């Protein structure tokens, strides 16, 4: 069956952002007198902004409300991205190539402001017809909500979408939405074996995701 759309994750797939997110959150925790934990980055992967802000407050002891936490971290991320967007190898090429064949969506755990900034700064921003943040749906990844909402806004059946993901929670979310999943394992936080097993194909970098590969999955 021919795919109807391709949906990308953002962090760890198109941009090498996980170290920046973790640095921004850790800085806030330490500066505010909280207690950073080594397992915090993996625990927060896939969480929506509402979820990780609550995690910083409740689990790591940041003495601020969740809105203030989110705003502070977003400010740090925006400063980092305006200094230089850390695109991953082949990201622009993959987006442009796939956009010639299919409608593209973006299903990200990042805050809406961060997504919009990336699409403003990156040279592929206009290739995406739809971009959805996990903060706009009831549950973050590994729940399928953000993928289902992206497919809904694209006007396509989720079972006819290919999804490109890097993390355990992202792979689980796309698979739960019954999409054909292509894994681009995150080198900083490799996905768990059971999550990686949900992928129909695995590549080393997003630049290896070609129209031929997507067609092959559909076949």
Structure token digits, residue 36: 């950073």
Q: Where are the beta strands (DSSP E) in the chain?
A: 5-8, 104-108, 128-133, 161-165, 180-183, 201-202
Q: Is 11 a catalytic residue?
A: yes
Cα separation, 103 vs 124, in Å, equals: 13
Q: Is 39 a catalytic residue?
A: no
Sheet holding 161-165, edge to edge: 128-133, 104-108, 5-8, 161-165, 180-183, 201-202
Residue 96: partners with Cβ closer than 8 Å, 6 or more residues away: 124, 127
Q: Where are the beta strands (DSSP E) in 47-112?
A: 104-108
Cα separation, 66 vs 52, in Å, equals: 9
Cα separation, 49 vs 136, in Å, equals: 10
Cα separation, 35 vs 152, in Å, equals: 40
Q: Which of 9, 72, 145, 166 is catalytic?
A: 9
What is the number of alpha carbons within 13 Å of residue 19 lying toward its C-beta? 9
Residue 163: Cβ within 10 Å count: 31
Active-site positions?
Answer: 9, 11
């Amino acid at each position: 069956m021919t795919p109807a759309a391709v949906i990308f994750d953002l962090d760890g797939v198109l941009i090498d952002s996980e170290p920046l997110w973790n640095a921004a959150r850790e800085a806030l925790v330490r500066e505010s007198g909280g207690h950073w934990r080594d397992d915090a980055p993996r625990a927060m992967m896939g969480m929506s902004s509402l979820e990780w802000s609550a995690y910083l407050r409740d689990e790591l002891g940041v003495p601020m409300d969740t809105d203030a936490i989110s705003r502070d971290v977003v400010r740090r991320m925006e400063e980092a991205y305006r200094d230089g967007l850390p695109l991953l190898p082949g990201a622009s090429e993959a987006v442009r190539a796939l956009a010639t064949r299919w409608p593209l969506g973006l299903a990200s755990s990042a805050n809406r402001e961060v997504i919009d900034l990336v699409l403003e700064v990156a040279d592929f921003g206009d290739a995406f017809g739809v971009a959805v943040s996990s903060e706009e749906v009831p549950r973050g990844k590994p729940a399928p909500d953000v993928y289902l909402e992206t497919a809904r806004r694209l006007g396509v059946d989720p079972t006819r979408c290919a999804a490109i993901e890097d993390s355990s929670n992202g792979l689980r979310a796309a698979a739960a939405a019954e999409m054909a999943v292509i894994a681009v394992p995150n080198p900083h936080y490799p996905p768990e074996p059971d999550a990686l097993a949900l992928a129909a194909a695995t590549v080393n970098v997003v630049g290896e995701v070609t129209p031929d590969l997507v067609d092959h999955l559909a076949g």
